[in-house]
Structure 1
Amino acid sequence: MTGHAKQLLSPYRWVILLIMWSTMCIALTAQFQISALAYQIIPDFNLTPGQYGMVLTAPMLAGLFFSFAAGALADRWGVKRVVAVGFVFSIVGTFFRFSAENFLQLFMLMFLAGICPGFLNANAPKLLGAWFSKEQMGMAMGVYFSATGVGMGVALATSALFPSTKSAFITAGVAMLIIWLLWLLFIKAKPEGAPDLPVMPVTKYIGVAAGSKNVWLVGVALMFLMGSSMAFTGFLPNALHSEQGMNPATAGLVASIVTFGTVVGSILGPVISQRTGKLRPFLALVAILGAGAGISAWLVPQGAAMAVLFATLGVMLGMCAPILMSFPMLLPEIGPVYAGSAGGIIGTLQVVGGVCIPSFIISPLAGQNYTLFFALGSLCLLLVSVVVLLLPELGSGSRVKVGTDLAKAM
Structure 2
Amino acid sequence: MLAMAAACTFQYGLPYLIPAFRAEGLTLAQAGLLAAAPTAGLLFTLIAWGAAADRWGERRVLAIGLGAAGAILLAGITAGGLRALAACFFLAGAAGAATHASSGRLILGWFAARERGLAMGLRQTAQPLGVALAALVLPSLGRREAFAFLGAFCLVAAVLVIAFVRDPAAPVAPDALPPGTPYRTPVLWRIHAASALLIVPQFTVATFALVFLVDAHGWDPAAAGRLLAAGQIIGALGRLAVGWWSDRTGSRMRPMRQVALGTAVVLAVLAAGAGTGLAIPALLLAGVLAVSPNGLAFTAVAEYAGRSWAGRALGIQNTAQNIVATATPPAMAALIATTGYGPGFAAAIAFPLVAAAVMPTRTESAPERAPSARANSPGRR
Aligned with residue 388 of structure 1, among 352, 359, 365: 359
Q: What is the CA distance between 1:169 and its match in structure 2?
A: 2.4
Match of 1:11 in 2: none
The whole-number CA distance in structure 2 between the counterparts of 1:349 and 1:301 is 30
Q: Quickly say closer, same or farther: Cα 1:73–1:405, change in 2 above 3 A.
A: closer
Q: Structure 1: which 5+ runs fail to align?
A: 1-20
Aligned with residue 281 of structure 2, among 280, 294, 308: 308
Q: Quickly say closer, same or farther: Cα 1:283–1:40, change in 2 above 3 A.
A: same
Match of 2:18 in 1: 38
Aligned with residue 68 of structure 2, among 85, 89, 112: 89
Q: What is the CA distance between 1:298 and its match in structure 2?
A: 5.0
Q: Quickly say closer, same or farther: Cα 1:41–1:408, change in 2 above 3 A.
A: closer
- Contact 1:130/1:336, CA 8 A, preserved across alignment: yes
**Paired residues, what number?**
376
C-alpha RMSD over aligned residues: 2.8
Which stretch of structure 1 is more off in the superposition, 276-285 or 101-110?
A: 276-285
- Contact 1:209/1:215, CA 8 A, preserved across alignment: yes
Match of 1:198 in 2: 172
Alignment of 1:103-118 (within 5 A): 103-118=82-97
Q: What is the CA distance between 1:404 and its match in structure 2?
A: 9.7
The whole-number CA distance in structure 1 between the counterparts of 2:47 and 2:191 is 15
Q: Quickly say closer, same or farther: Cα 1:365–1:315, change in 2 above 3 A.
A: closer
**Does structure 1 residue 351 correspond to structure 2 residue 322?**
yes
- Contact 1:228/1:378, CA 8 A, preserved across alignment: yes
Match of 1:284 in 2: 257
The whole-number CA distance in structure 2 between the counterparts of 1:292 and 1:249 is 29
Aligned with residue 407 of structure 1, among 356, 374, 380: 374
What are the Cα deviations for residues 75-114 of structure 1, in whole angstroms up to 9, with x where unaligned?
Answer: 1122222232222321123223332210011111111222
Q: What is the CA distance between 1:155 and its match in structure 2?
A: 1.1
Q: Quickly say closer, same or farther: Cα 1:70–1:227, change in 2 above 3 A.
A: same
Give the residue type in structure 2 aligned to 1:134: A
What are the Cα deviations for residues 167-203 of structure 1, in whole angstroms up to 9, with x where unaligned?
Answer: 232122222211111112222111xxx5x4531169x
Which stretch of structure 1 is more off in the superposition, 350-359 or 308-317?
A: 308-317
Q: TM-score, normalising length from structure 1?
A: 0.82
Q: What is the CA distance between 1:317 and its match in structure 2?
A: 2.3
The whole-number CA distance in structure 1 between the counterparts of 2:274 and 2:85 is 36
The whole-number CA distance in structure 1 between the counterparts of 2:323 and 2:271 is 25
The whole-number CA distance in structure 1 between the counterparts of 2:56 and 2:372 is 27
Alignment of 1:63-142 (within 5 A): 63-142=42-121
The whole-number CA distance in structure 2 between the counterparts of 1:326 and 1:279 is 8
Give the residue type in structure 1 aligned to 2:319: T
Q: Quickly say closer, same or farther: Cα 1:402–1:293, change in 2 above 3 A.
A: same
**Does structure 1 residue 173 correspond to structure 2 residue 183?**
no
Q: Quickly say closer, same or farther: Cα 1:260–1:281, change in 2 above 3 A.
A: same
Match of 2:204 in 1: 231
The whole-number CA distance in structure 1 between the counterparts of 2:41 and 2:151 is 17
The whole-number CA distance in structure 2 between the counterparts of 1:201 and 1:407 is 17
What are the Cα deviations for residues 144-166 of structure 1, in whole angstroms up to 9, with x where unaligned?
Answer: 1111111111211332234x332
- Contact 2:49/2:315, CA 8 A, preserved across alignment: yes
Match of 1:252 in 2: 225
**Does structure 1 residue 144 correspond to structure 2 residue 123?**
yes
- Contact 1:233/1:259, CA 8 A, preserved across alignment: no
Q: TM-score, normalising length from structure 2?
A: 0.88
- Contact 1:37/1:165, CA 8 A, preserved across alignment: yes
The whole-number CA distance in structure 2 between the counterparts of 1:250 and 1:336 is 44
Aligned with residue 195 of structure 2, among 193, 201, 222: 222
**Does structure 1 residue 374 correspond to structure 2 residue 335?**
no
Which stretch of structure 1 is more off in the superposition, 167-176 or 316-325?
A: 167-176
Which stretch of structure 1 is more off in the superposition, 65-74 or 248-257?
A: 248-257
Give the residue type in structure 2 aligned to 1:243: A
The whole-number CA distance in structure 2 between the counterparts of 1:305 and 1:367 is 22
Give the residue type in structure 2 aligned to 1:26: A
The whole-number CA distance in structure 1 between the counterparts of 2:86 and 2:16 is 16
Aligned with residue 208 of structure 1, among 159, 174, 181: 181
What are the Cα deviations for residues 265-294 of structure 1, in whole angstroms up to 9, with x where unaligned?
Answer: 111001122333443332211111112213
Give the residue type in structure 2 aligned to 1:407: R
What are the Cα deviations for residues 95-134 of structure 1, in whole angstroms up to 9, with x where unaligned?
Answer: 2333221001111111122234322212333121111112
Q: Quickly say closer, same or farther: Cα 1:142–1:124, change in 2 above 3 A.
A: same
The whole-number CA distance in structure 1 between the counterparts of 2:128 and 2:369 is 31
- Contact 2:13/2:130, CA 8 A, preserved across alignment: no
- Contact 1:265/1:314, CA 8 A, preserved across alignment: no
The DSSP-based 3-state class of the residue aligned with 1:282 is helix
